[in-house]
Amino acid sequence: MKLLNVLLIASIAMGSVWAKEKFFVVERESESLATIYNGVKRTNIEGMHNMNHGVVKFEGNDGYVISRDGYVVKFDPVSEKILAEYKTSKSAIGFVIGANYVAVANYDDKSVDILSRDLKPIDKIQTGSKNVGIKIYTDYLIFSQMDNDIISVFKDMDAGKALPNFKLHKEFKDVGELPFDAMIKDEKYIVGFFTSKFFGVLDLKKMEYNKIDIFLDENRQMVLKVPHFGFWSIGGDKVFVPAVGDNKVLVYDNDFKFIKNIKTQGLPVFTSLSPDKKYLAVTYSGKDFPTIQIIDTNSLEIIHTFNFDGKVLHLRWSETSPQLYVSVNDTNKIAVIHTKEWFLNREIFNVKKPSGIFIYEDGK
């Protein structure tokens, strides 16, 4: 009886921990999000438009979705009700959420839209280029112009005190060929390129730009799926970068000095760092779509390989439990790997063509 009581208390405690995490999974072909709560598929939120490149972000108690066909949707992640939507363009690729605004980088109509947090239009910045890698740093809005090889820095002249008033602060030209994504690390804006054998680092305090060489083989392969730099991994004393067109994960220190290339099974797409920074999960494209590999961030060696019965499009580490959630697109499920013992713990079925996995914390 005592053992049963202990198990019951432990189960309740674990359930209360897990209950803080609510997973929103992009259902790629259904214009919808699936929700997973307490490890179980619960609901579908429909009406999210074209989700082939759907991305979900949370800011406080607000949830936002960007669709491939240029819609931004605001929703309540608790009630799961859609609150507002706005179409910025025919094709949008990324967005960021500020204190008083949402900024959307568009492919087609070659602009950046500035909206209120309730998705009312404020401004449209015309660039004449597909726009990528949109980020926020203090009062600055930074993005890259793919067609023009430019990094644009806009400054909010109202310094976040009201609705934003963005004016061009500085442009950096000829930064590299075909920028495709970027990330922020402290005051550094880091941008990657399709065809240049380097990535760029813009110091936003000094407003200085530098190129960091990438050490790749001469015979680079065709890129089948772009490795989004939003899934570069930075943690502890290392930066992990999926190579473009090469079977490698590049490792740098925090000052972007080269440490090592880790040889991988395939062309890496996403690298995702565990919450304790001890492990790195890597996904692939092409024939290695069904595979993920786990890298030990201390030894910089691959320690585990998992193969699934379909393409792996995304993964996400739980922040509160030893679980790695993996979207297996072809077989309509989320696989859950136990990250202490490294085995396939369970599978969550009836998630239609899953791709991106995003976490909302209750009471956040």
User: Residue 3: what pLDDT?
Assistant: 41
> What are the structure tokens assigned to 297, written together?
């961030």
pLDDT number for residue 219:
53
Tell me what pLDDT residue 236 has. Answer: 78
Q: Average pLDDT of each block of 10 consecutive residues along the chain (364 residues)?
A: 40 45 96 94 96 94 96 97 98 95 97 98 98 96 98 96 96 95 88 85 96 66 51 80 84 87 93 94 94 97 98 95 97 98 97 96 65
Half-sphere exposure of 103 (CA within 13 A, CB side): 27
Q: Return all residues near 63 (Cβ < 8 A) that are at least 6 apart.
A: 24, 56, 57, 74, 75, 76, 77, 360
What are the beta bridge partners of residue 210? Answer: 201
pTM, rounded to two decimals: 0.89
Side-chain-side CA neighbours of residue 22 (13 Å): 21
Q: Which candidate, 239, 215, 214, 245, places its Cα nearest to that of 227? A: 245
Q: Are 251 and 237 in contact (CB under 8 A)?
A: no
Structure-block tokens of residue 149: 């090889």
CB environment 185-218: b (16+ within 10 A), e (fewer): eeebbbbbbeebeebbbbebeeeebeebebebee
Place of tokens 């979705």: 65
Q: What is the pLDDT of residue 246?
A: 86
pLDDT for res 195: 82
Please state, in angstroms and rounded to a whole number, the distance separating the CA atoms of residues 57 and 77. Answer: 10
Q: What are the angstrom distances between the C-alpha of 111 and each of 104, 116, 138, 313, 319?
A: 8, 17, 22, 28, 35
How many Å apart are CA 321 and CA 283, to the nearest integer?
Answer: 21
DSSP structure string for 13-37: HHHHHHTTEEEEEEETTTTEEEEEE
